[in-house]
Amino acid sequence: MADRYVTKHDKGWAVKAPGAKRASSVHGTQKDAEKAAKKTVGNLGGGEVRIQGRNGRWRDSDTVAPGNDPYPPRDKKH
């Protein structure tokens, strides 16, 4: 799995691999960083994208296919 983190950076928002000291990319907005992280994870075979809020706490986590989402949406069709 190719997990990525979206974290606050002095020049905006960074996309980082777990344990990495340097950002793989830096973006002006959190939304742009999240899109880039999801694209990277998808291209690398799936995994988790964890998003950090302005306060430094993790605020969201998304599974990118073909990752294994522990809480998949339920199919509401009958």
pTM value?
0.80
pLDDT at 65: 84
Q: What is the pLDDT of residue 74?
A: 63
51 lies in a domain?
yes
CA distance 3 to 37: 9
Residue 74 within a domain: no
Backbone phi and psi for residue 68, each to the nearest 5 degrees, phi listed first: -105, 100
Summarize the confidence of residues 22-41 as an average pLDDT. 96
Question: Is the pLDDT score of 7 beyond 70?
Answer: yes
| 45 domain residue, yes or no | yes
Q: Is 65 exposed, middle or buried (0-12, 13-18, 19+ CB in 10 A)?
A: exposed
Range of the structural domain that residue 41 is part of: 4-64
pLDDT for 57 equals 95
pLDDT tens, position by position, 37-77:
999 998 888 999 999 999 999 999 999 886 555 666 665 65
Q: Tell whether 70 is covered by a domain.
A: no
Q: How many domains does the chain have?
A: 1
Query: What pLDDT, on the 0 to 100 scale, is given for residue 73?
Result: 62
Is residue 77 one of the residues assigned to a domain?
no
